[in-house]
Amino acid sequence: MDDAKYTKLLAYPKILNQKAIVCANQGKQTAFKGHAITKAIEKFTVIQVRKGHLHKDDLTYVLSHVRDGIMLRIDIHGAPHNGLSTPHVHIYDNVHKNGAVAIPLEDLKNYDPTDDIVESLVAFLDYTNFAHDKTTITEQLLIG
Bridge partners (DSSP) of residue 73 are: 62, 90
Is 49 part of any domain?
yes
Is 64 part of any domain?
yes
Is 137 part of any domain?
no
Is 141 part of any domain?
no
Sorted by sequence, the CB contacts under 8 Å of residue 124 that are 6+ apart come out as 46, 61, 63, 74
Is 101 part of any domain?
yes
Q: Is the pLDDT of residue 40 over 90?
A: yes
Is 124 part of any domain?
yes
**142 — pLDDT class (breaks 50, 70, 90):** low
Is 120 part of any domain?
yes
| Domain carrying residue 7 | 3-130
Average pLDDT of the residues in 75-82: 88
Average pLDDT of the residues in 105-129: 94
Mean pLDDT of the chain: 93
Q: β-pairing, 88-91 with 69-77?
A: antiparallel
Average pLDDT of the residues in 71-84: 91
Q: What is the pLDDT of residue 56?
A: 66
Separation CA 83–CA 126 (nearest Å): 28
pTM comes to: 0.93
- Number of domains into which the chain is organized: 1
Is 138 part of any domain?
no
**Could you give the percent of the chain with pLDDT greater than 90?**
82
